[in-house]
């Protein structure tokens, strides 16, 4: 199973990004072989609709789980429609949140914010 995390930099020792759709990179962690892959988030610099595009990227990446500190309503709608589960990260460290998820310690994220359309 693949787990996707929005991150600030393409390094595993780095931090989870505070934003989902505007995160510069996504980490894709493959639980089966512990492989870590970073992809550039091409939605990050969209003028509008970043949440929808980032959501599409998550679906196309083949991930079945998203770990993020927050998410906008459009992104959440796309991702949930695909049956992908969204969990809320804890703290800044990528590694800690990932480990917490693998230990079943993360809660599902249900406080979806209305987005920051036009306020960047």
Provide the CB-side half-sphere exposure for 66 (13 A, CA). 31
| Binding of another protein by 83 (CB under 8 A) | yes
Interface pick for another protein out of 45, 48, 105, 116 (rule CB under 8 A): 48
Look up tokens 């309503």; give the residue: 73
Q: Which stretch binds another protein (CB under 8 A): 6-14, 71-79, 89-97, 99-107?
A: 71-79
Interface pick for another protein out of 6, 55, 69, 72 (rule CB under 8 A): 55
Q: Which is nearer to another protein, 36 or 80 (CB)?
A: 80
Phi, psi of 26 (to 5 degrees): -115, 135
How many angstroms separate the CA atoms of 112 and 120, rounded?
18
């Amino acid at each position: 199973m693949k787990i996707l995390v929005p991150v600030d930099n393409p390094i595993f020792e780095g931090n989870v990004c505070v934003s989902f759709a505007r995160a510069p990179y996504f980490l894709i962690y493959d639980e089966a072989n512990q492989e870590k892959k970073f992809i550039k988030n091409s939605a990050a610099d969209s003028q509008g609709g970043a949440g929808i595009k980032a959501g599409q990227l998550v679906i196309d990446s083949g991930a079945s789980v998203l770990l993020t500190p927050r998410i906008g309503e459009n992104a959440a709608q796309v991702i949930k429609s695909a049956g992908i589960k969204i969990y809320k990260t804890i703290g800044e460290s990528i590694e800690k949140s990932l480990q917490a998820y693998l230990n079943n310690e993360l809660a599902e994220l249900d406080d979806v914010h209305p987005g920051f359309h036009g306020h960047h």
